[in-house]
Amino acid sequence: MSGEYAIGTGVQVPESRFWAGGILDCMSETELSVICKNCGSEVSPYVTECPYCGARLRKRAPKLERRGDALEAQQPRRRRRRIPRPGRAGFAVAGERPYATIAVILVSAILLLVQKASGGALQTFGGLVVPLEDDWWRVLTAPFAYVDVGYLFVVAVGLAIFATGVERRLGTMRTAVLLVACGALGMLAASVVANAQDDFAVVAGGNGMALGAVAAWFAIRRAEVHGAIGEDYDLIGVAVAAVVLIALPLFAPTADLVAGLVGGAVGALAGLAASALQHGE
C-alpha cells in the first residue's frame, strides 16, 4: 500500500489519511512537532507515547475540536475562581481597660494574701463545703477563694489572655456577669454532684470562670472569622489552654472537674448567643 511519511514522525501513513477530513493539510508545522524529552525525537502531539523509545509523553491525548475545515487541540477551560465570602459583622473591639477581668484577678489575689497572712481556713474566705446546707452564697464566693498560689496563677493567666478579649467585645458589665455566672453555676453543679455521691469536699477556685472565658472567646472569635479574608485564630493555643485548665484538678486539691466543665459550657453558650445576636443586628 502506497503512502508517505508523516512530517517529523518517520512513520509511514497511508496517503488517504493525509486528506481525511482535510485535517493534516491545515495544521501548521509547530502543531506537528513535539520533542520527546527522553530520546529527543520529534513526534506527533496527538500521541501519548513516543513511537521510538516508548517514553510517556502525556497522560492522555488532547481532545480535538473542529474550527472551520480543520481539527485543532481543544484549549483547556479556565476554572472560575471562587470569591471568598465577606466575614460576618464582628463586634466593635473597644480599647478600654478590661476592668472586669482585672477586678476578678485582684479580688482573688487579695483574698489569698489575707488568708495566707491570717492562717484562716478556706471556708472562712468563701470556700464551698459539701454538703452545702444553707450556705448558698458560697457558690458566688468560692470561685474567688484559693489556697494554692499556682492554682491562682494558672487561672489568672487564662483570664488575662481570653477574658480580656471577651470584655473588649461584650463590655465590662456583660463580661463581669458572664464570669460570675460561669464560676457560680460551675460551683453549683459541683456541689450537686458531690452531694449525690455523699462526698465531703471543699471546692474553690476559678477554673470554671477561666474555662468559660476560653469557650466564650472561641465561640465569638470563630463567628468573627467565619468566611472572612485574611483573618484567623490560633486553634492550637485555645486547645492547649483548655486542656491545662481541665487538668487543674490533678494538681490543685480544691479544683473540681465538674465546676470547670460546666463553667466552660456556660461560656460557650454565652459566646454563641452573643455572636448570633450580633449577626442578627
Tell me the pLDDT tens digit for each residue of 93-147. Answer: 666 789 999 999 999 999 999 998 998 888 888 889 888 777 889 999 999 999 8
- pLDDT category of residue 27 using cuts at 50, 70 and 90: very low
All three cell numbers of 97, joined, read: 481597660
Amino acid identity of residue 14, one-letter, is P
- pLDDT category of residue 234 using cuts at 50, 70 and 90: confident
Mean pLDDT of the 202-206 span = 92
Tell which CATH classification among 3.40.30.10, 1.20.1540.10, 3.40.47.10, 3.30.70.100 matches the domain 99-280: 1.20.1540.10
The domain segmentation of the chain, as residue ranges, is: 3-73, 99-280
- 179, 105 Cβ separation under 8 angstroms: no
- pLDDT category of residue 235 using cuts at 50, 70 and 90: confident
Least confident segment among 13-22, 196-205, 259-268: 13-22
- pLDDT category of residue 219 using cuts at 50, 70 and 90: very high
Structure confidence at residue 121 (pLDDT): 86
Structure confidence at residue 52 (pLDDT): 76
Mean pLDDT of the 35-59 span = 74
Question: Above pLDDT 70, what percent of the chain?
Answer: 70
All three cell numbers of 180, joined, read: 460570675
Q: Does residue 25 carry a pLDDT above 80?
A: no
Q: Does residue 207 carry a pLDDT above 90?
A: yes
- pLDDT category of residue 245 using cuts at 50, 70 and 90: very high
Q: Does residue 269 carry a pLDDT above 50?
A: yes
151 vs 164: CA distance, rounded Å: 19
135 vs 132: CA distance, rounded Å: 6
Cα dihedral sign, 187-188-191-192? negative
Name the more confident of 224 and 161.
Answer: 161
Cis status, amide bond into 131, omega within 30 of 0? yes
Mean pLDDT of the 233-242 span = 88
| Per-position b or e across 83-116, b if 16+ CB within 10 A of its CB | eeeeeeebbeeeeeebebbbebbeebbebbeebe
Name the more confident of 221 and 5.
Answer: 221
Q: Where are the alpha helices (DSSP H) in the chain?
A: 15-18, 99-118, 138-141, 149-158, 164-170, 172-196, 207-225, 235-246, 257-280
Q: Where are the alpha helices (DSSP H) in 197-206?
A: none
pLDDT digits (tens, 9 = 90+) for 62-85: 565 666 666 565 555 555 554 444
Q: What is the residue-averaged pLDDT of the chain?
A: 79
